[in-house]
Structure 1
C-alpha cells in the first residue's frame, strides 16, 4: 500500500498546473492573443506552458503509483486502456460541447489535450508489460529524437495524429496535441514514480539533481538558439518562446525541470494554499471538465455586460477562436474572472473530492 503522504507533491503540483491552465483558457475566451511583444501578455501565456507538461508527466507518475497499489499489471493495463478510451470519447463529445456550446459535434472536431492523454494511456497500457528500465529509457529516446518522427512523407496525413508533418489530419479533425513525443513524457513520468518511492533524503536529492540539470541544459542550449535567432525581439522572449506544438526538447526541459525541482518543496508544503492546490490535484478530470464549462459560460456573461451581446458565434471553434480587437478583454479583467472561477471550482472540487472518498465502492468514480 502506498503511503498517501508520499504522493502529496503529485496532488499539489498537479493542482498548481491546473490553476495555471485555467488562466490560459480564460485567455482564449477573452480574445487576448497567445503571447506577443507586451510583457504582461507574453508572461500570461508563458506561465501556462507548464500546464500540459505537468499534466502528462504526473499522469504517468499516477499510473505507476496506482500499479504499485494494485500489485497486478493486468489490472493496471486494463484500467489504463479503458480510461484512455473514455478520455477520447469525452474529448469528442462532452468536452467538445463545453468548449463550443454547439450541439453539432461534427462541424468542428478537436483532438485536444484530453484526446492526447487518452491515446497515451492506451499506449501506456501496452508499455507497462515491458521491463521497467526499458520504459524509462525508451521515454528519453522518444523525447530526444522526436524530430525523426517528422520525416514521414507529407502524404501520410494520418501521421499528423502522431507527429505534425503537414497542415491537416484526415476526417476534418483539428489536431492540437499530437501523441509524439507526449507518450514519451508520460512514460518518463511513469519512471519518475519509482523515484518517489525512495527514502525522502535520496528522493529529494535526485529530484534536485534531475531538475536543475534540465534547467541548466535548457539555459545553455536555449541561449545558444536564442542568440542565433537574432532579430528585434528581446533575448529573454526569444529564450522562453519555445515550440509547444509539438513540444520541442527545449520546451520540455524548460517546463519539466522546474516542476521536478519543486517536488521536495511540495512534499513539505503546508497551509491554506497547499490545501487548495491539493484539492484541485486530487480530482483532475472533474476540474478540467468543470472549468471549461464554467469559463465558457462566464465569458458569455462578461461579454453581455460589456457589449450587450454574448458573442457566442466567436466560440464555435474554441479553443481555435478569437475576438475582434475592440471586443477583447483588458488583461486585469482576465485575472478578476480567474479569481472568481477558481473560488467556485474549489468549492465544487472540495465537494466532489469528499463524495469520491466516501463512495470508494463506486467503480465508475475512478474514471472521473
Structure 2
C-alpha cells in the first residue's frame, strides 16, 4: 500500500519536541536539582516545557506498532515476523551500547539506563510472536494492558533482588545501585509500553482505509480518548497513581490535573498523549505544505535522528561547560552522572535557543540519510537504522 506520510509527519513532530526535553535535561541550570513537574518548586514555563515532551515516547511506541502492521501487510509470513524479531534485538543492542554511551560518554559503562528504545525493542520481539493472532485479539490484549496495568501498582516492592529486577524489567520503573561503580535505571518496563504498541498495531488496520475514511475516524478516536481522560481524571478514582488536587491558584490546579504519571505510563497518561497524537495525525493526514515536508525529513529516519541528537546534546553540554570556564578536571564521573559540573547551566530561554539550533543542524544530515537509505535498498543494515 502507499506510504502514509501523516505517520512520518507525526513522528517527525515528536522527534523535534523530544530534543527539547533532552537539551533541558543536560543544559538547564536547575535540571539536576529540580523536578520540572513538582508543583511545589516548578514554574508553569518549566512544567509545560517538560509536559509537552510527554507526547514523544507513547507516539514512538504506538507508531512502531502501526508501522509493524503495515509492514506485515506487505508480506505476513515467517520471514517478515523474523525481521521484526531481528529489529527488536538490534534495538536492544543499540540501547545497551551506542545509545547508553551517548547518555554518559563513559567508556567503562558505569551506568545503564533502559529507556524508550529498550521498550520498543522488547515490544517488537513480543509482537513478532503476537502478530500471528487476528488483529482483534492483538487489540484486546493491548487494551487490557493499557486499561488494567495500573492495578499492578498495588503490588508491594519485592525484597528479593532478583525478583525485584525481573519485575522492574517488565512492569515497574526502578533504580538499582548494583555497586559503588555501577548503577542500573529501568525507566521503561516492557509490558506497560507493549500495551501501547499492540493498540498501535491494531490501529494499522485503520490506516489501510482511504484518507477520506480514516481521517474522521482517527479524529473521533482521538477526541474520544481525550474526553475519557477528562472524565476519569476528574473522578480521581482510577487510572493514575498521583491524583490531582486544588492548588494555590487556578493555573496550578490545572497543572495538577494534567500532571499524569509517565514511569510507567498510566492509563490517563496514555489517554491524553495518544488522544492528542491521533488528533494531530488526523489533522495532518493528506496535508502537504512546507511544514509537513520539513517534519517528514525527520520522521523518515527516526533511529538515525535519535542516536545523532543524543550525541549532539551531550557535546553541547560539554561545550557549554567549557565556555563557562570549567575544565576537564571539573567534569564529574560515576554512575548515572551526565558529566555536568556543579553550577554549570543556562536559562530556560537558552535551552530553547540551543534546541532550535540543534534541530536545524540535524536537518541536512537527516535529509541526506533519508535519500541515501531510499537509494540503496540493497544495503540490508540500513533497514535497522
Task: Judge same fold: TM > 0.5, yes or no.
Answer: yes
1:229 partner SS: coil
Change in CA separation of 1:310 and 1:59 when aligned onto 2, cut-off 3 Å: farther
Offset of residue 137 of structure 1: 1.1
- Out of 14, 17, 22, the residue aligned to residue 17 of structure 1 is 14
Change in CA separation of 1:53 and 1:227 when aligned onto 2, cut-off 3 Å: closer
Change in CA separation of 1:321 and 1:243 when aligned onto 2, cut-off 3 Å: farther
Residue aligning to 1:159: 167
Alignment RMSD, CA only? Answer: 2.3
Measure the CA separation in 2 of the matches of 1:239 and 1:320: 31
Residue aligning to 1:230: 246
Residue aligning to 1:67: 72
What pairs with 1:1-368 in structure 2 (closer than 5 Å)? 2-4=1-3, 7-31=4-28, 32=31, 33-35=34-36, 36=38, 37-69=42-74, 71-105=75-109, 107-150=110-153, 151=155, 154=158, 155=160, 156-157=163-164, 158-164=166-172, 168=176, 172-225=183-236, 229-232=245-248, 234-309=252-327, 313-314=331-332, 317=335, 324=342, 326-368=343-385
Q: Contact 2:103/2:338 (CA < 8 Å) preserved in 1?
A: no
Structure 1: segments with no counterpart, 5+ residues: none
Structure 2: segments with no counterpart, 5+ residues: 237-241
- Higher normalized helix content (fraction of residues): 1
Offset of residue 303 of structure 1: 1.9
Change in CA separation of 1:227 and 1:193 when aligned onto 2, cut-off 3 Å: closer
TM-score where L is the length of structure 1:
0.92
Measure the CA separation in 1 of the matches of 2:337 and 2:191: 21
Change in CA separation of 1:113 and 1:312 when aligned onto 2, cut-off 3 Å: farther
Q: Contact 1:99/1:315 (CA < 8 Å) preserved in 2?
A: no
1:71-90 CA-to-partner distances (Å, cap 9, x unmatched) read: 23312210111111111111
Change in CA separation of 1:49 and 1:296 when aligned onto 2, cut-off 3 Å: same
Offset of residue 113 of structure 1: 1.3
Structure 1 stretch displaced more, 226-235 or 201-210? 226-235
Offset of residue 293 of structure 1: 0.6
Change in CA separation of 1:366 and 1:166 when aligned onto 2, cut-off 3 Å: closer
1:17-36 CA-to-partner distances (Å, cap 9, x unmatched) read: 11111000111111434414
2:265 partner SS: coil
